[in-house]
Structure 1
Amino acid sequence: MKLMITGATSGIGKQLALGYAKAGHKVIACGRSQTKLDALAEAQPNISTLCFDLMQYDSYPALAADHGPLDLLILNAGDCEYIDDALNFDAKRFDKIININLIAIGYALQAWLPNLKPGGRLVLVSSSAQLLALPRAEAYGASKAGLSYLAKVLAIDLAKHQIEVTLVHPGFVQTPLTDRNTFAMPMMIGAEEAALTIMRGIAKGKRDIRFPRLFIWLMQSLSLLPFSLWRRLAMRMVSS
């Protein structure tokens, strides 16, 4: 199998690249750091690399003839920053996160979706944050909610092209992104465990992968509350 992974230099993306390469698959690992990409390629001979910035829309690399067609395209790259003062809304921060987590996905689809062969699979890594309105997550939550909607529409429209779509909703995973958080992150799991869960789900042909189960159940249960009640609970969380 041949696959391409964005955001492959750290966190879940890195563990996915290493896991698939170790299993004997040909992996195209994408990221912004050539040094980190070189380390990946040295660790696993089945990994080739593409170094570029997803925010530089005019410089998305075309896949060379020896790179395609792809069996699997995993769009995993993303970022998380919070809006600390909603009254003095940080539009530039909002713009940055929406562009990285959502708009860049559109450019990636334009650049590489045609490389997916019939019977292939597109994987979009969203977040459990889109299940529930969370304090300070105006940018991150909105971007991931948009990404989840996009994945569902693509699952409908790509079916006639024999391309399956898998949507991933992780809970808290220990990565360089979550290392920046200063709040409690219940039921956090490691990036390697997260990658294994995703790989197993893809192997089973799952269209929706959510983990850890208990955390997702909790988030879904809270999302069923009347918003007025959840709002009071969330406000209490912020003030505590």
Structure 2
Amino acid sequence: MRPLNRRIENWEGKRVWLVGASSGIGAALAAEALAAGARVALSARRLELLQTVAADHPHALALPFDALDQAAWPEAYRAACQLFGGIDLVVFCAAEYRPERSWEVTPAGAARTLGINLGSVYSGLATVLPDMLARGSGGIAIVASVAGYLGLPKASVYGPSKAALINLAELLYTDLHPRGLDVYLINPGFVRTQLTARNDFAMPALQTPEAAARAIRRGMAAGRFEIHFPWRFTLLVKLVRMLPYRLRFALLAQLAKT
């Protein structure tokens, strides 16, 4: 069977814009791409962290801005294009997460999480898609999560935001692939980051950001649409998603007690 996307096997000279690159998966993926020869624009709010990731990489551009600021996207995109001559791949990795039960959610907290995790992606798509569609090439990578597979306890806003990203990536593929664009949906399991450090429960199959970045690169090299990892965990979650609701809810109720 043919891969759903073009295989990205050679990163030499590839022009990448990575939004959410200051830490965690984004920073590790930036380092992975730079080591493979890509030119990478690194974006997040905190310039000092971006400069740390970009240090000693002549093909890295620290491009700080707030992903919640819709007006800041076009300016950042123009800066990246001015330096690189265009963008081949945009990776949406900015994320917010706080573990909370449904009765602990506040309107302000929910709005912020949804704005960063989902709304910022729409701002980015409106910025980059016109150029990509005009030339009939380019790639969009959306970092969602296995938390979007199920209604998991304590992921009261984060989980729905990631479920929406999964849905968005699927419809983007249908819309954009016939027009020459590639779409990658990235669904990590638990990865050791500043966000997961907020969890007070055991996280099975916990991976490092570096391992996550390598898995993403392997998935892109294979041309996969959905890149999920680690398989020993994500396949189990996919199996639970297939259960009838009566059985699924029983399992989720047990998780809620932990």
TM-score, structure 2 length as denominator? 0.87
Task: State the shift of 1:115 in Å.
Answer: 4.1
Whether 1:82 aligns to 2:104 is no
Whether 1:66 aligns to 2:79 is no
Give the equivalent residue in structure 2 for 1:100. 116
Runs of at least 5 residues in structure 2 that lack an aligned partner in the other structure: 1-13
Q: Secondary structure at the match of 1:185?
A: coil
Q: Deviations over 1:74-100 (max 9, x none)?
A: 11111112333x346422222111111
Contact kept in structure 2, 1:68 and 1:115, CA below 8 Å: no
Counterpart of 1:228, as a letter, is: R
Runs of at least 5 residues in structure 1 that lack an aligned partner in the other structure: none
Counterpart of 1:122, as a letter, is: I
Report the aligned-residue RMSD.
Answer: 1.6
Contact kept in structure 2, 1:83 and 1:93, CA below 8 Å: no
Task: State the shift of 1:228 in Å.
Answer: 2.1
Contact kept in structure 2, 1:12 and 1:191, CA below 8 Å: yes
Runs of 4 or more above 4 Å deviation: none
Give the equivalent residue in structure 2 for 1:208. 226
Whether 1:10 aligns to 2:23 is yes
Counterpart of 2:138, as a letter, is: G
Residue of 30, 46, 49 corresponding to 1:36: 49
Give the equivalent residue in structure 2 for 1:122. 140
Determine the C-alpha separation between the residues in 2 that align with 1:8 and 1:74. Answer: 9
Counterpart of 2:187, as a letter, is: H
Residue of 91, 107, 115 corresponding to 1:91: 107
Q: Deviations over 1:125-173 (max 9, x none)?
A: 0000111111121201110010110111110111232001010110001
Contact kept in structure 2, 1:6 and 1:31, CA below 8 Å: yes
Determine the C-alpha separation between the residues in 1 that align with 2:210 and 2:131. Answer: 27
Q: Deviations over 1:179-212 (max 9, x none)?
A: 1211110001110010011011112211110110
Give the equivalent residue in structure 2 for 1:167. 185
Give the equivalent residue in structure 2 for 1:55. 68
Whether 1:132 aligns to 2:150 is yes
Q: Secondary structure at the match of 2:173?
A: helix
Task: State the shift of 1:229 in Å.
Answer: 2.2
Query: Which has the higher relative contact order, 1 or 2, with Cα contacts under 8 A spaced 6 or more apart?
Result: 2
Identity of aligned residues (%): 33
CA distance 1:135–1:118, change in 2 (3 Å)? same
Contact kept in structure 2, 1:29 and 1:47, CA below 8 Å: yes
Whether 1:185 aligns to 2:203 is yes
Task: State the shift of 1:40 in Å.
Answer: 2.2
Counterpart of 1:93, as a letter, is: G
Determine the C-alpha separation between the residues in 2 that align with 1:136 and 1:90. Answer: 14
Contact kept in structure 1, 2:136 and 2:181, CA below 8 Å: yes
Contact kept in structure 2, 1:125 and 1:168, CA below 8 Å: yes
CA distance 1:27–1:233, change in 2 (3 Å)? same
Q: Secondary structure at the match of 1:48?
A: strand
Contact kept in structure 1, 2:192 and 2:208, CA below 8 Å: yes
Q: Which has the higher strand share?
A: 1
